[in-house]
Amino acid sequence: MPLFQFPTILIILTYHSTNAYKILFLTPLGTRSETHLFQPYAKALLTRGHQITYISSQPSGVKNNPNFEEIIPTKPFTMIDFTGNISMSPVEIRAVTKDKLSSILSWNFTFIFDRCHQVFQNEQFNNLVRRETTYDLIITNAFFNNCFHGLIHKFGAPFIAVHTMPVDAVVGRMTGLRMPTSFVPVSFLDFSDRMSFYHRFVNTICTWAFSYLLDNAKQEYTRIYRHYMGEEYPWSEDIESNVSVLMSNSHVSIYFPRPLLPNIVEIAGIHCRPAKPLENIVSFFTHILYVQKMDIISMQIYCTGIEKIFGSSGRAWIHFVQFGIGCTNEFFVS
C-alpha cells in the first residue's frame, strides 16, 4: 500500500466538509447477515454529507436521499447455497464434519461464479460498469466479491476491504501479512489458539488447502470480469494486493490473540446501532474467566449463560461467537 493512501482514507472517513467525497460500496454478493455490517457504515458516511453509491444484495432502507444511489443486482446467499442443506447451519455442519481437509477441498465455488455473471448481466450494474466517472474511495467485501475487482482497477480509487469474520492467515495475505498457523486457526476450523502438535499440523494443512482453493477461484474471478470489461485488466490477486485498509469484524476482547498490521482495523460492533450500555458487566466477565479455566467448553452451556446475562441482546454475541471464535459443541482450549 502506498504510504500516502492510509492517511488520505482516514481524512475521507472523518473530515466534515461541504465538499463531499464520492464513495462506492461494491458489495453485490453476500449473505443477509453480512449486509448488516455494511448498511450502518454507509448510512454513517451519508449523514456526514458524502455521496454514496451502494451496491448490495439487500436494500439499505435509505429513501429519498439525493446523495444515495442504490443498486440491488441480485439476492443474498442463503444457507442452501453454501451447504445444500437448509436444516443445518455452517457451524452445525462444521461440528459434525470429521474430515476437515476433504470438506475444504470439496467446497464448490460454482454457485458464486454463477451469481457473478448474474450481477454483470443486471442492467443497472452494467450501466455502472460503462459509466465514465470517478470515486474517491471504494469499500468492498473481502470475501466472495473478487469477480468485481475489475471496477476497482477501472475507477482507480483507493479501496477498503471489510471481512465479516476475524482475519485469519488466508484472508490476511492480501495485506502481505503472514500469520503463524501455530496459534492462529483458520476461520473454518473449531480450534483455539492453544493447539496440540496434531491440531497445528491440521491447521497448517487446511490453511494451505483453502489458500490453494481460493487462488484457483481468483483465476476464474479474473476471467469473469475480463469477459465483461476487457482482457487488458490485471489479475484479481494483483488488484487485491493494493488494498489500503482491511477491516475485520472482530475484537481483541472476545477473540484469540493474533498479530495484525497497522492497516488491519478491528470494527466489531459497528452494526450495533443505536449503542446501548452493557448490563451486569461484572457477571459477564466473571463468566468469561470461568469459561477460560475449563478444559472443555460446552457451547450450549456457554451460549445459555451469555443469553441469561444479556437477554435478547445476548443472541448477537452468540452469533458472533459461533462464527468468530469458532465454537462447536465441544471446544478444546487446552
In terms of average pLDDT, the best of 223-227, 297-301, 320-324, 328-332 is: 223-227
Confidence of residue 279 (pLDDT cuts 50, 70, 90): low
The overall average pLDDT reported for the chain is: 76
pLDDT digits (tens, 9 = 90+) for 307-328: 444 444 444 444 444 443 333 3
pTM of the model: 0.74
Task: Take residue 120 and report the three cell numbers written for it.
Answer: 454483470
Residues 190, 95 contacting (CB under 8 angstroms): yes
Q: Please report the pLDDT score of residue 9 as a whole number.
A: 56
Confidence of residue 103 (pLDDT cuts 50, 70, 90): low
Which CATH code fits 5-100+107-180+217-275? 3.40.50
Task: Take residue 114 and report the three cell numbers written for it.
Answer: 454463477
Higher confidence at residue 291 or residue 101? Answer: 101
* 3-class secondary-structure state, position 93: helix
* 3-class secondary-structure state, position 138: strand
- CA angle in degrees (0–180, nearest 5) for 257-258-263: 125
Domain boundaries, the chain: 5-100+107-180+217-275, 278-334
Q: Please report the pLDDT score of residue 324 as a whole number.
A: 38
Confidence of residue 334 (pLDDT cuts 50, 70, 90): very low
pLDDT digits (tens, 9 = 90+) for 240-271: 999 999 998 888 877 778 888 899 998 887 87
Residues 48, 160 contacting (CB under 8 angstroms): no
Q: Please report the pLDDT score of residue 40 as a whole number.
A: 87
* Pick from 26-30, 119-123, 228-232: least confident: 26-30
**Strand residues in the chain grouped as ranges (E):** 22-27, 51-56, 68-71, 137-141, 159-163, 245-248, 264-266, 296-298, 330-332
Q: Please report the pLDDT score of residue 229 as a whole number.
A: 95
Q: Please report the pLDDT score of residue 214 as a whole number.
A: 87
Query: Residue 95: which residues within 8 A CB-CB, separation 6 or more?
Result: 190, 328, 329
- Distance, CA of 308 to CA of 311 (rounded, Å): 5
